[in-house]
Structure 1
Amino acid sequence: MHAVGIVAAAGSGLRLGADRPKALVPLAGRPLVAWAVDTLLGSGVAEVVVAVPADELAAFAAVLPPEARPVVGGATRTASVRAALAAVTDPARPAPDAVLVHDAARPLTPPEVVTRVLAALADGAPAVVPVLPVVDTTVRVDGDGVVTGALPREALRRVQTPQGFAGAVLVDAYDRLPDGVELTDDAAVVRAAGVPVATVAGDERAAKVTVPHDLALAELQVPR
């Protein structure tokens, strides 16, 4: 199966307190984006396109391997994925059997998670996401922050990346998405187009780096 990857890496890093794009913040001496790209390339993905800020193309090109190429992303995640999709589905290149979309902010995602996503796509799933169970009590609150009820957590899951899609499924779903509509992830985009989304087991090590505490925890988990 010819799989290509997209890495969303155009975030500003403000919540991380960084003076550079979050994807360029170092983890154990390497930028977050390098970790994410290496995970995809080491797990059966043939090439990777990285959506980056327009004014940081050179900085990203300097840290990415030859199999990964940066493209200018957009002001939103949706715009960035659209730009990367256009690059990975260029008619001059072989049409991919699968497209995986990964967050640069999940640097320590184990290769086994990528392998499970690819296996589900190979088995015929049109879309698949890695998930984890919700272990905390989860409640609903009103506008004043007062608890109005509890949600049954048995049916709830936390969604991670990479999220995988067969062939042109993701392209078609983005083509159907009205301009200006922003959804939280790519699985939501394909679900809006009526595509069922399967799940595979995620991993706690695939946690997202958002604030300084997350980065400190990731430093403790880096394989030595």
Structure 2
Amino acid sequence: MSVAVVVVAAGSGARLGADRPKAFVEMAGRTLLGWSLEQILASAAVTHIVVVAPASHIVHARDVLDAAVMQQQPLTGEQLRTHVVPGGADRRASVAAGLSVLDERDGIVLVHDAARALAPPALFDRVVDGLRSGFGAVIPALPVVDTIKRVDAAEIVVETPDREQLRAVQTPQGFVREVLTHAHDEVLDEAVTDDAGLVERSGTPIHVVPGDAWAMKITTQDDLGYLAWRLQQL
């Protein structure tokens, strides 16, 4: 099955305090979208990239994608296909917009946040390997190291979950295409915050593979500064 990656790059960047959509904020001289695409293109498994961008930044997104592709060595085997599409009103609608341009060749779909700009190629490969081994849904995650408390509306602790059973989920999240499209069509719960949550509610078991510290999500200026610093140490 061919592998398509839907890159969600339509976020506003409000929590980052940016004057532009988050994916177009620069870190160490290039946009977060550019960094993300560089990692994706270094995975030999990927044959189709769909960037979902704000309607105001479609041309910019296409320029970033084309530049990233030109910097890579030509793919062997199936030629890389690319699309840039406008996002929707929320993350779920943006992913749906990306799914709408897939075709019958795209048997595996990875959904990735451009804000996890340094998620390494090996992470994409690990997710794909899990899907090709027979799982319908595969997500990367890291063990939770902090003690977690669940509280009620009055901020009173009601539970302390066993952190040995907890995982901090990252992207790319991978799915057999039919599993993901079915979940998007059938699950109407608006409280779900990621595609794995939709698939979980649709009844498909989800397999977890080891995540990667480089795949941290950039949400604040502190996150941006920390990853820029880590890059300087390489």
**Shorter-normalised TM range:** over 0.9
Q: Do structure 1's residue 145 and structure 2's residue 194 form an aligned pair?
A: no
Identify the residue that residue 210 of structure 2 maps to in structure 1.
201
Scaled by the length of structure 2, the TM-score of the pair is 0.89
Structure 1 stretches of at least 4 aligned residues deviating more than 2 Å after TM superposition: 65-69, 146-149
Q: Map of 1:58-137 to 2, 5 A cutoff? A: 58-65=59-66, 66=69, 67-89=81-103, 94-137=104-147
Shift of residue 138, structure 1, vs aligned partner? 0.8
Aligned position for 1:166: 176
* 1:142, distance to aligned residue in structure 2 (A): 2.3
Deviation of the 1:61 alpha carbon:
1.4
What is the count of residue pairs matched by the alignment? 219
Q: Deviations over 1:156-182 (max 9, x none)?
A: 10000000001321112111123x735
Quick one: distance in 2 between partners of 1:140 and 1:46?
42
Gaps of 5+ in 1: none
User: 1:18 deviation in Å?
Assistant: 0.6
Q: Which moved more, 1:144-153 or 1:31-40?
A: 144-153
Question: Structure 2 stretches of 5 or more lacking a match?
Answer: 70-80
**SS of corresponding position for 1:114:** helix
Partner of 1:183: 192
How high is the sequence identity, in percent, across the aligned residues? 45
Q: Distance in 1 between matches of 2:144 and 2:206?
A: 18
Partner SS, residue 112 of structure 2: strand
Q: CA deviation at 1:147?
A: 2.4
Q: In the TM superposition, what is the alpha-carbon distance from 1:221 to its structure 2 partner?
A: 1.8
Name the counterpart of 1:216.
225
CA RMSD of aligned residues (A): 1.5
Please give the secondary structure, in 2, of the residue aligned with 1:174: helix
Structure 1 distance, partners of 2:109, 2:153, is 39
